[in-house]
Every structure is written in C-alpha cells, then in structure tokens.
Amino acid sequence: MKKTIPGCVVEKCIRITSLFTVFENTYEEDYYFVGESHNFWELVCVIDGTIGVTAGKDVFPLEKGQAVLHKPMEFHRIWAEKGTRPHIAIISFAGDIIPDMKERRFTLQEAEVQKLCEMIRKRDRIFQVDQGYIISKLLPGQEVQAHLFLAEFENLLLLVLSRKDPVIQTYTSVSARNYRRIVKVLEACLEERLTLPEIAKLCHMSEATVKKTFSRYAGIGLMTYFNQLKVRRAAALLEEGYSVGQTAAMLGYGDQNYFSTVFKRVIGESPMKYIAGRNETGNTEGI
C-alpha cells in the first residue's frame, strides 16, 4: 500500500525581492543628513559612535550596535551625536512579505553586527554598484550568490525582529516633544489646507518655534513635510481604488493638476503612472 504523507507547509514570513542601496561609511563629527522619504524599507545600523535619528514623529539616539528599520514613505533623518565620528551601515530594500512589527528599533548582538559588515564587504563581488552605494544590477554568473545574500539578510532581520529587546527610548527634551506634537497635528489634519500660522495656533506655539523646531529635527520646511505626509496618504487612497480627482479632493487639494505635480515631486512619478505600476506588479505587502 502506498503511504501518503501530507507534509507540513511552512509559510515564509519574510521575502526580500529588491535591493536599492548597500553601504557603510564613517562620517565627521558635524555630519547631518537632510531628511528624505522613499517607497522602500531602509535599515540603518550604528557600527560605532552615536547618531541622532528622526523617524516620522519620533526623535531618538542610536549608539553602537543599535539599529532602526524605516518603513516605506517614513520621513527620516540622521546626524552625528556626542562628538563622535559615527560608522554607519545602511541597506535599503523592498519585499513582498515583510513581518508586521510594532517596534522597529532594536539592538544587534556583536556577531550580528559583524555579519552585517561581512555582507556589505561581499557586495562588490555580487552586484554592480553605482556611485559607491546604489545597487544597479547583478554581475554575470552571480545569481546564486545574490540569492544567498538576500537569504542571509532575511535571516538576520528575522533574528533581530523576533527578539524582545528593551525599547530604545526617544529624546524627552522640550524641543523633541514639540516636534512630536507638531507632527501629530499634521497627521490629524491631512484633509485640510493649513497655513503656517494655522498650524502654529493648533500646536499652541509661535510660528518661530514651529519653524525652528522643524528645522532642527526635520531639516526641511514645514509645508514641504506636510505635503509629503499628504502624498503618503494619497498613495494609500489610490491603492484602495479612489480616483486621482477623489484623492486630491479628500486631501484638500483644490486643483487636481497641482496635486499631481506635488505627488510626482515626492514619489517620482505621476499618480496615474503610480496606479498603473501597482496594478502591473500587484499590491505587494511591505513595499
């Protein structure tokens, strides 16, 4: 009699499909990076030294061995802290399966930090690297090594994300609290057309305080940041099936053409092209 064994299906809980940047660098004591947001994930790990980080509405320090995982379209910024010359490793990527996680700040063990550095050092043997950090394509005959590279990175992420490390605390200064308050107000008012004076009034701050706080922690103008938040919400609405016109109206844009211009400035493509691209590839999780 033929014996049938049903087998045990083990679903993947993480699957990385693309790499965008892979690099490490040591920065000067006065280094600061002007903030950005993009539609892929980014891991930032401190190999040595200390950095300050803005991630969405949170502001916090990262020291040796600590890391943060920025989700797609999350505004983020880093700068050197405590008079150190921080050594930082960064890998940015996209995936169609990414674990749902509440906390994206964590501490790597020494062996895990070394593993990350070893992976980055293998980069040039596997990929063509442009401008010293952008992964543009596979080198000929390196398909297997590329898959092993992704598997190593997936395993590393799973290990650190599955641990229950103590939460890395945010800054508690008055200015950091003011920054969080401003961002919360902006997030709650995405459907409105607000001016700087109106935002300052809602935050119970002077216009000067709002501008100074945003300059310190975001490195970009308040209204630029507000438009980035609106575009992030717009992308979600478009994926839910709303038209470009409906999306523009829901987010307080009286002119659909102006909305499309702002969307393209932030995302890099028009709303219609964005929708077409998502329809072609499928609305993949985690990208």
In the chain, % of residues over pLDDT 90: 68
Mean pLDDT: which of 18-22, 36-40, 159-163 is highest? 18-22
Q: What is the pLDDT of residue 278?
A: 67
CATH 2.60.120.280 in the chain: give the residue spans: 15-162
Q: Which of 204, 156, 142 is nearest to 178 (CA)?
A: 204
E strand intervals along the chain: 15-26, 32-36, 41-48, 51-55, 58-62, 66-70, 76-80, 87-97, 105-107, 127-130, 134-138
Rounded to whole angstroms, the Cα distance separating 266 from 194 reads: 19
CATH 1.10.10.60 in the chain: give the residue spans: 174-281
In the predicted structure, residue 155 carries a pLDDT above the cut 80: yes
Confidence of residue 284 (pLDDT cuts 50, 70, 90): very low
Q: What is the pLDDT of residues 100-138, one digit of tens each?
A: 877 789 899 999 999 999 999 999 999 999 999 999 999
Kindly report the CATH class assigned to 15-162: mainly beta
In CATH terms, the superfamily for domain 174-281 is Homeodomain-like (1.10.10.60)
Q: What is the pLDDT of residue 1?
A: 63
Tell me the average pLDDT across 139-150. Answer: 96
Return the bridge partners of 77, or none: 54
Confidence of residue 7 (pLDDT cuts 50, 70, 90): confident
Q: What is the pLDDT of residue 285?
A: 44
Q: What is the pLDDT of residues 59-99, one digit of tens each?
A: 999 999 999 999 988 999 999 999 999 999 999 999 988 88
